[in-house]
Amino acid sequence: MSDDPGNSPQAAAAGSAADRIRVVLVGTQHPGNIGAAARAMKTMGLRRLALVAPRHFPHAEAAAMAASAGDVLEGASVHADLAGAVADCRLVLGSTARDRRIALPQLAPREAAARVVDAAGGAEVALVFGRERTGLDNRELQLCHCAVHIPSDPECSSLNLGAAVQVLAYELRLALLEAGEVEGVGREQGDAIASHAELEGFFGQLHDTLDQIDFHKGRNPEAAMRKLRRIFLRTDLRAGEVRLLRGVLADAQRMARLAGR
């Protein structure tokens, strides 16, 4: 545990965008919620936890609720106040159960996650959660650039702290996967969204192949290409998928050559 997030072992090891995203829990009353938050984070690939004046920490209930996320708890930094926990952050978002009653720009979870992942490309970012009973006070909210509200039922708008961390950590995971910052199950390492040049290379080869296999038969080749481009541009092709498609085209071109076209 350390009081300086900039010098903590976690920060020293930080390399990826996920490692520059810090979850800050302010004034947590129930140690079980700290453990639940740590587990929620770890399941979504987040590791950096900062605690501001927790009522009980460390605590056996926190460890029990963390289950396999004990390392996140052990690496947590502890601070006297919120300003100390976010001093080195360039973007600070405060999550709040109250909708529209605060004088801060308010983001939906998905927008907030996109903003956080974008900023975490080059800077430290904090997502702050308040006390179980009273949330974040006005002074703490003033330290935040924006508020995030999970659009819960206004009749019962307050999620359990661990559940709120889980929802926002899940949105962060989706945004990190979308940005190619982390690897998801079934996606090959480095299989990023295809670049403009890779797609244009594929479209050029598709154009030539359609000629060679006499697909057009007198119809307008450009109209067909426009439709085909639309289909492929709709699908977020990965670089590896473009290589596979080009392999298929290369075989079709080889067959066309063999057939003397």
Binding site for ligand SAH (CB under 6 A): 95-98, 129-130, 132-136, 148-150, 152, 157-159, 161, 164
Q: Which amino acid, 8?
A: S
**CA–CA separation, 135 and 157 (whole Å):** 12
First to last CA, the chain: 71
**CA–CA separation, 253 and 211 (whole Å):** 10
Q: Which is nearer to ligand SAH, 48 or 149 (CB)?
A: 149
- 58: preceding bond cis by omega (within 30 degrees): yes
Q: Which is nearer to ligand SAH, 157 or 205 (CB)?
A: 157
- Closest contact distance (angstroms) between CB of 115 and ligand SAH is 15
- Closest contact distance (angstroms) between CB of 170 and ligand SAH is 13
Closest residue to ligand SAH, Cβ-based? 135
- Closest contact distance (angstroms) between CB of 84 and ligand SAH is 18
Q: Dihedral through CA 84, CA 111, CA 106, CA 29, nearest 10?
A: -50
DSSP state of 100: S
- Closest contact distance (angstroms) between CB of 24 and ligand SAH is 10
- Closest contact distance (angstroms) between CB of 50 and ligand SAH is 14
Q: Which is nearer to ligand SAH, 76 or 182 (CB)?
A: 76
Q: How many residues does the chain have?
A: 261
**CA–CA separation, 201 and 195 (whole Å):** 10
Q: Which is nearer to ligand SAH, 23 or 206 (CB)?
A: 23
